[in-house]
Structure 1
């Protein structure tokens, strides 16, 4: 199906975006439920006996190995693919690059700030927008120079990672375990401080803006730039075509990414030498390697099965409404698990069940919405805002093209 830019929609991209959105929620759900500590809450788990205790302990470990940073890395690669598609569309329509795309990025920055202030401090949209503003002009480079820019971004990221590892962390006096919440109480009441209201949380996020945006603006940009540019290069290399070259590239990504990345992801949880080093590199270096493996493996499975199965279609629905689903999943988690409206601590199994429930709800909502609309609700508003400053110029250009075609057809 052609999109608004006249480009045939790539079904596998929609499926991949949907997987990345759902997978990112699996990483973030632990932030909302605040159930990092293994065994911190066992409500209802004791009824399962020894099995419940084992699951309670290992569910967050498996979740971290499979999801932490991996699906965010996949989402970043796909963001770069989308940037490459926008670039080709701009050239085809005779638009100057990257002016319109920079406008899109500024709108994404504003959208991200609203999402950060009103919903959650771990918003990724502002960071993506900042990096996109910097990276977009590079797409005008020839491929060989773009490869060099990609390598430079990767080297900068690794330099910052090694520098971060060698820095001496600032030692803070730890707060008492029961400072925030009385876990011994049956309902999980807050003990030494009262739960802040929603508006107090909003004010707190805005007041601590620069502290909370350290990851998005300082730590992540070199890695995001690297992954964006990798997405551009993979699109230019024809990864999403159906030819033998695309299949070969998919196999290489799957074997290389999973073959190298997954052992390193598991290593940090094993009592082996170097596990602490693997832990330090887990989110920002090992996770992106696994993300490339996920990308290749998913494409292999989609090509073998045609991408028309029930689950693939549901992931595609989420992918077609990616911005809406990303923001909606955080809104749902905020309402359910915030300090002013939470269900109580759920424990590891409860947190995983909450992720599954929210994911199913997103798939259902996206499916029902797309029966009546071609884009998600936020996407519709987004497109109107992106196109608004250029409508007059587009109408003028279209009229001039029609007049030129009419003149050329006159004998």
Structure 2
């Protein structure tokens, strides 16, 4: 989620869209009275409204965020080439910091953290970014095949069933639960490693192909693929029942994400709409990602306001309202902060930690 100094303006808006879109998925986890483990279970007769609202965000914006992380990797690689520094070099320290950030976010706030996955996969992918197109395409093909195999096997096996235990209401008990159930809550992270590799490399190669520049034909093809083909398939699998959950979230949704990336980029490049607030969220993406989950935890969990239990009978109507209110707060807060600082609060801390071990350039002594 770090942003290169060589900023492409449209990326800030896309990051803002992705961050608020992931909240659209996570809000259903926070507001589930069964707790985060409830997302492992199929919803009981969700109805048309809930299915449509969930489908609007489920998997798409996480995939979009993953593509944008790959774009960021590409920009970091280009920056290293311009400076003449070794790659991946100090980028690996960035990945270590992101892993630590994700581990704290997972332990203290949110079971389904994505930062840890990005950190681990970025270490794997960083060395591939600068390789030949043949090598990168081979890795992408292998990752795609592995991902298709996993999703096919899981779909054939079915989603299973069962019940979830009551989610602990105390904060200390939640911390204990995250430690004891670490591999359960990290299951999605492990499952989507091939997909994450594919999207990281895809984001890098789309950047090189000019998706954010003058390659209009490429964007048109991506829009047709993602919105013309992927979106109808996504709607079909969403209403096909829980057995198709993995296809819906991990195959169709990434296709839609590619279309969204191209469509939003085309809109911004051709019509230049006013999207400064979304860009502010994108510039403070790491801070907004953590903050939105912290706010939702305080609102929904028993150690906070406990709204997940109090408003259980108001589902599926109140989660979209909660999403809208938290999104409005993030839009306002990010703009307020950036009028005073050039980076988000976590971005400032992260940048300081990243620079800490890097030796300062030596300054030659001036002759007297």
* TM-score normalized with structure 1 length: 0.80
Q: Which of 26, 31, 35 is matched with 1:33 structurally?
A: 31
Residue 249 (structure 1) aligns with: 218
Residue 209 (structure 1) aligns with: 182
Q: Which of 343, 355, 362 is matched with 1:375 structurally?
A: 343
* TM-score normalized with structure 2 length: 0.89
Equivalent-residue separation in structure 2 for 1:359 and 1:171 (angstroms): 33
Equivalent-residue separation in structure 2 for 1:304 and 1:147 (angstroms): 30
After superposition, the C-alpha distances for 1:139-197 in whole angstroms (9 at most, x for unaligned) are 1201232122112111111111122223466664x47xxx85xxxxxxxxxxxx9x531
Q: Do the aligned residues in 1 keep the contact of 2:4 with 2:72 (CA within 8 Å)?
A: no
Q: Do the aligned residues in 1 keep the contact of 2:94 with 2:354 (CA within 8 Å)?
A: yes
Residue 230 (structure 1) aligns with: 202
Structure 1 residue runs of 5 or longer lacking an equivalent are 37-55, 181-192, 404-411
Deviates more, 1:278-287 or 1:379-388: 278-287
Q: In structure 2, do the counterparts of structure 1 residues 361 and 313 end up closer, same or farther at CA, with 3 Å as the change threshold?
A: same
Residue 305 (structure 1) aligns with: 271
Q: In structure 2, do the counterparts of structure 1 residues 390 and 371 end up closer, same or farther at CA, with 3 Å as the change threshold?
A: same
Q: Do the aligned residues in 2 keep the contact of 1:22 with 1:359 (CA within 8 Å)?
A: yes
Residue 322 (structure 1) aligns with: 285
After superposition, the C-alpha distances for 1:366-394 in whole angstroms (9 at most, x for unaligned) are 000000111100000111111211132xx
CA offset at residue 253 of structure 1? 1.0
Count, aligned residues: 350
Structure 2 residue runs of 5 or longer lacking an equivalent are 35-45
Q: In structure 2, do the counterparts of structure 1 residues 135 and 5 end up closer, same or farther at CA, with 3 Å as the change threshold?
A: closer
After superposition, the C-alpha distances for 1:250-282 in whole angstroms (9 at most, x for unaligned) are 1111111111111111112446xxx66644401
After TM superposition, which residue ranges in structure 1, 4 or more long, deviate above 6 angstroms? none
Residue 155 (structure 1) aligns with: 145
After superposition, the C-alpha distances for 1:55-78 in whole angstroms (9 at most, x for unaligned) are x94432112221100000000000
Q: Which of 81, 84, 90 is matched with 1:94 structurally?
A: 84
Q: In structure 2, do the counterparts of structure 1 residues 258 and 5 end up closer, same or farther at CA, with 3 Å as the change threshold?
A: closer
Equivalent-residue separation in structure 2 for 1:231 and 1:384 (angstroms): 27
After superposition, the C-alpha distances for 1:46-100 in whole angstroms (9 at most, x for unaligned) are xxxxxxxxxx944321122211000000000000000000001111112111121
Equivalent-residue separation in structure 2 for 1:359 and 1:113 (angstroms): 24
Equivalent-residue separation in structure 2 for 1:325 and 1:391 (angstroms): 30
> What is the SS of the residue equivalent to 2:20?
helix
Kindly indicate whether residue 260 of structure 2 is the aligned counterpart of residue 294 of structure 1: yes
Matches within 5 A, 1:136-215: 136-167=126-157, 172=162, 174=163, 180=166, 196-215=169-188
Q: Do the aligned residues in 1 keep the contact of 2:4 with 2:75 (CA within 8 Å)?
A: no
Q: Do the aligned residues in 2 keep the contact of 1:35 with 1:347 (CA within 8 Å)?
A: no
Kindly indicate whether residue 32 of structure 2 is the aligned counterpart of residue 60 of structure 1: no
Equivalent-residue separation in structure 2 for 1:248 and 1:234 (angstroms): 12
Structure label with greater radius of gyration: 1
Residue 18 (structure 1) aligns with: 16
Kindly indicate whether residue 234 of structure 2 is the aligned counterpart of residue 261 of structure 1: no
Q: Which of 208, 215, 221 is matched with 2:193 structurally?
A: 221
